[in-house]
Amino acid sequence: MNNTTYSIKKNEIERKWYIIDAADKPLGRVATEAARLLRGKHKPTYTPNLDTGDHVIILNCSKVVLTGKKLDQKIYRHHSGYIGGMKEITARELLHKNPEKMMMHAVKGMLPHNSLGRQMLKKLRVYAGAEHENAAQKPEVWNF
């Protein structure tokens, strides 16, 4: 009897395409589900040191919901690198101006903060509306 744990090889990884509809769903719930699919944690072949995840398409990001007072109190900050270069934008402004960026930021924070996480993030496509250009990949709808 063999007592070794099976570890999947890179050439054995099978990738599928999934669509998540973010309309009227909380931002964090959609982001966690997308991160789970991108990492491959829903598969029995999940391996922490390999990118075993699938491709994810998130639609209707402009219709995502933020609970509580987050729309006005949550602030996204970044720095240009110059003196006094701190830029701030509220969640309401970012949702109106660039909803795809808000979703990307939420999913990126839930992935590993290393080269493996950056590789996983490349498999994410985010769209503000209901249209996408990945119909040729025959994506399946992922309900949660």
30-79, pLDDT tens digit by residue?
999 999 999 999 999 899 999 999 999 999 999 999 999 999 999 999 99
Residue 96 domain flag = no
Residue 60 domain flag = yes
CATH of the domain at 58: 3.90.1180.10
The whole-number pLDDT of residue 1 equals 63
The whole-number pLDDT of residue 25 equals 96
Residue 116 domain flag = yes
How far, in Å, CA of 73 to CA of 38, rounded?
Answer: 29
Residue 30 domain flag = yes
Residue 99 domain flag = no
Residue 48 domain flag = yes
Domain that includes residue 50, residue range: 15-67+106-141
Residue 40 contacts residue 51 (beta carbons within 8 Å) = yes
Residue 8 domain flag = no
- Tally of domains in the chain: 1
Residue 4 domain flag = no
